[in-house]
Structure 1
């Protein structure tokens, strides 16, 4: 019977349960952010395989270590920055972004004025606004450039990259500010001045003003992840000192976006990024260059909203159930593993291909659990199926291993024990099937022959004396009776045996066969004790067993001989009764075949007068009582015996 027929609703019902469990796991992981580092790792993998050639029209004038060695310790005089701006702007760049904070006066008003004049003459300079905390109390402050510069710049933008839980910079806020999210990104302002800002960025970047009570709180809006063109050093760099010394022609800057900032170790801000090679952080000015390129190329990455993220995670968590109910264990494991890998790869490439980020950790975690959970439910169904089969086998097969176990004990069995018991029961069923085939052969051949002969005589025109029908009909009746007795013996439950007097049983069996013995001119001698001998057994089967031995002796013993029936005790825990008669010794192979089903020996084989079940019945009854049956030959006598356990004489146990 199939699992669907035995367990209605399988596997649909179990698939629904597993789907709900996987969806719950996915939702819990996604909503809690428990595995957010896995999300970050996948995003970083996508960025590392997405390296591309940096734009040639964006370059960095770097305050590098060579410039520090040649120009001296930082900070440098502001007139030096003014001279650099004059050199760069002489080449007519599209815009100049200075990633150096001038939020405090230098102490030399003339130097501040020179720098302001250079910024004004260029007309395309964008300076940064820094949001920082004070030393005491941690209060946030907005620090714009000093007043002279503020009046001369073409734009002011906020620098700063949001660091995720693992301390890596991957995203920015399009609008940010204290009490009002109004300050644009520094990179956005550089693009605006260069007239390369896409309109879509302005549509997304709509700032808002917070509640008056939030005027000292940092407000942020429109979070976006950005792409990296490559590891640190991917954006073209020129040395500050070389430009200042006139070693770089001004025409190099024509029509380009020029960013000025520190790249020397110990200066400026260095950030860990998804593309940092061997843990090497990226200079802040290069991070801003990557933000600028993402803005300009429309490659800012939007994160999927919370509700769609949860729904998609739950849906993806249930996808393995499309194949798990249809595949075997190994195939299901392989396909589920490939699914997890494919899902991880697709989510890593999603920002690269479509600029959308979906946090897949919850769906991936559920995907890893899909095969174990489904296997668990499949094993539970198999266990329930085995338990039901064992209970049925316990009721149908008295000789099956389950007869010794109650239903509660079956539930405590190990899975391997259940399988072993079912296999033992299957072997028993195979033996019963073999017996059934033999029984069918017996009925169709041995039992059919005498009945067919009687029918033939009845159908003939001159049936003759009806007495001629009696021998074949009696033979058929004897065969049927033997077969039914054997079936009852094979179905005997050892737990249902009762106390009986073996001596009285053997006396009754001898009385039963006495008349037949006299008719064959044979004498029965009883060598039985007068006192009772008690054993546990089935009276009718043991009596039939003794009668079969006596009948076998009558058919094989020579005429006018003595047939003996006796009882002895080879051991204290064993009793043996026997039937003995004169006869030629039996060969070893004849002894082996005597107690087999449908076996005939000696004269019986020659005449085919027996059913071939008599001695097999004797052996079956003996074994079902926990004993054995056999034959011994000595001094021209043949003794058939049956040994049984126990045997208690009244008063012997006191």
Structure 2
């Protein structure tokens, strides 16, 4: 990019990048939040679960079928009569609930023992038996396997002892109900909890959650354990059993299944009966963890994301770094608080990782934009300070560091240039004020301070309009909203009561985006120039009145004096008319050069028609046709109608004067393009004797006349008409040219800027 093309990054581009990142990140966060839990989520859950240990429920007792019991009572399985004795003994000891985690799915060899166990269970009325899901596959439905009817007929309830594994093989959750075809089958602990919970207490198994996360009180050893053989032999006090919920199950290594859980080390596992005790403990105390719904997870993620995105727009980079860290910490803390206090699992892992990635992407993007901006600004600043004889210093480091160091050096040089420019500005002899975009003065040079010192008003912070009004200019007062934020401000002449005169010039400064940035106001003392102009007007008055009056009197006297010879009378009249023409031409030229023109939008075609009408009598007298070409559509220019009409009249008059009788004059109106923008052209061509190249080059000089043999009227002019044309066209911001060759006529072309079209730069 060239230095002249360098520009700073626009705020709209940054907002567009922000919006694009916000939309894409929101979609990604929503998708990640709605997905199932990942292994990373499970790892964080396990950490929180191990940190959330609590005292175990003292009303739970586990009777272990352990190695000690096997050593004393023989190999497994035991006779059904042994289990009947255990049920009777627990019932007599006053056990509140008995969860017998042993499946009696096959009849024994002695049906009497099955009936004895069934009778013991029926007599107790508080025994709950497990069921299991068996079979099931891609095409075959699963089936429920429970204890045989002879044993289960007197049970207080039956339920599924089904274990759910996560993708990593760890048991973290249970389902209050398992699907069984079109129906739902309750879990064993759901049945036990609903049957034994106090009336009116909350029951999380009645919610809409398909699964609940298990809030483990601690490792398996946290619950009170006694050996099966010790209970059966009467070694355990009845008080230890009375009023408690008793779980009977296999705990001997290798005898029954064991499951990995968040609270068991890798080298140890939790047996089924221990797992059931943990589940019932959490159900009774309302500590089961509910997984947050998809909408809650999405809302949580998007809230933190949009807080971060708002910070990107409102905060600086270092604050955004702290904001990112803070939001990640808030996400982790909020998730932990929900887990520990609200018993809700809302994983923050995806959100925290996403926040870090979004912050990195935004930071990298910002760094890239800063790098590009530094490069552009460095090129632009170097173009400003180029040519001042400074040699660039070679810096070391990465690209951004080198660019920042180079930019700092260039800014230092530009600051030197700024101070030099400010010194030049404030050393001007004219009073100069600098104001901000609100029109309040922020600086004034010494001349301005001297000019306004008699009024004893502080300049800084004062309104420009108030300060100018302090001078009390005659016939003029400035309102508080002056000056207006426009690029065109015509000079204003101020005449003070003490006789001094100032020309007020106002310049609007704009920033790089084109917005108003302030004002520079200059008060130039034109008292001497005004006096000179007054003397000039007096001289013009002398020409227009004092010189014209005698010549007019001479012509009137000649008309009333018949005694003079005709030749003498004609010669005197010619001299008087020439003197009048000279005075008129000089006055017109002088006013065209210095008198301010009154500009207004007008159609140049209408002005051309007026000029043609004015010279029509002379053209008819000499039998010359004047033809107009073009001008059917408006050709708008900004000008003074009377001055432009006099310009075209002078050109048409010369064309009529120099054209032979019976010839034609063409007035061609057209629009053309130019390097400065569209222009309106009026070309007047005749069939007269024309000019040589040397004569055409000097045609617009004052008092320049060209004698043409055979043309009687060529000597009547005074040589100021074309000089007036050039001065008038120049005052309108245009140009006039002459194209001619001897013997083929001349063409004078007036070009004026087209009104209503901005000029290109």
1:418 to 400, 403, 413: 403
3-state SS in 1 of match to 2:217: coil
TM-score by length of 1: 0.58
1:259 aligns with 2:243: no
1:307 aligns with 2:290: no
2:31 to 4, 28, 31: 28
Q: Is the 8 A contact 2:141 2:181 kept in 1?
A: no
3-state SS in 1 of match to 2:386: coil
1:68 is aligned to: 70
C-alpha distance in 1 between matches for 2:205 and 2:60: 24
2:354 is aligned to: 366
3-state SS in 1 of match to 2:336: helix
Q: Number of residues paired by the alignment?
A: 418
Deviation at 1:45, TM superposition (A): 2.0
3-state SS in 1 of match to 2:123: helix
Structure number having the greater helix percentage: 1
Deviation at 1:257, TM superposition (A): 0.8
Q: Is the 8 A contact 1:400 1:424 kept in 2?
A: no
Deviation at 1:74, TM superposition (A): 1.8
C-alpha distance in 1 between matches for 2:207 and 2:31: 32
Query: What is the correspondence of 1:147-546 to structure 2 with a 5 Å cutoff?
Result: 147-196=149-198, 200-201=202-203, 204=206, 222-399=210-387, 414-430=399-415, 432=417
Deviation at 1:202, TM superposition (A): 8.0
Cα distance change, pair 402–437 in 1 and its aligned pair in 2 (3 A): closer
Cα distance change, pair 203–101 in 1 and its aligned pair in 2 (3 A): closer
- Structure with higher Rg: it is 2
**1:79-103 superposed Cα distances (whole Å, 9 cap, x missing partner):** 1111111111111222100111111
1:103 aligns with 2:105: yes
C-alpha distance in 2 between matches for 1:183 and 1:260: 22
Q: Is the 8 A contact 2:62 2:224 kept in 1?
A: yes
Q: Is the 8 A contact 2:99 2:247 kept in 1?
A: yes
Q: Is the 8 A contact 1:176 1:183 kept in 2?
A: yes
C-alpha distance in 2 between matches for 1:148 and 1:43: 44
Q: Is the 8 A contact 1:97 1:260 kept in 2?
A: yes
Structure 1 unmatched runs, 5+: 207-220, 405-412, 445-654
Structure 1 vs Structure 2 CA RMSD: 3.4
1:40 is aligned to: 42
1:82 aligns with 2:67: no
Deviation at 1:292, TM superposition (A): 0.9
Q: Is the 8 A contact 2:34 2:295 kept in 1?
A: no
C-alpha distance in 1 between matches for 2:183 and 2:46: 28
Cα distance change, pair 192–429 in 1 and its aligned pair in 2 (3 A): closer
3-state SS in 2 of match to 1:97: strand
Deviation at 1:265, TM superposition (A): 1.4
C-alpha distance in 2 between matches for 1:8 and 1:441: 34
Deviation at 1:157, TM superposition (A): 0.9
1:568 is aligned to: none
**1:396-422 superposed Cα distances (whole Å, 9 cap, x missing partner):** 233599999xxxxxxxx9434433442
C-alpha distance in 2 between matches for 1:279 and 1:349: 30
2:114 to 112, 133, 138: 112
Cα distance change, pair 24–129 in 1 and its aligned pair in 2 (3 A): same
Q: Is the 8 A contact 1:79 1:115 kept in 2?
A: yes
1:8 is aligned to: 11
165-174 or 104-113: which moved more?
Answer: 104-113
C-alpha distance in 1 between matches for 2:193 and 2:106: 26
Relative contact order (alpha carbons < 8 A, sep ≥ 6): 1 or 2 greater? 1
321-330 or 348-357: which moved more?
Answer: 321-330
**1:515-574 superposed Cα distances (whole Å, 9 cap, x missing partner):** xxxxxxxxxxxxxxxxxxxxxxxxxxxxxxxxxxxxxxxxxxxxxxxxxxxxxxxxxxxx
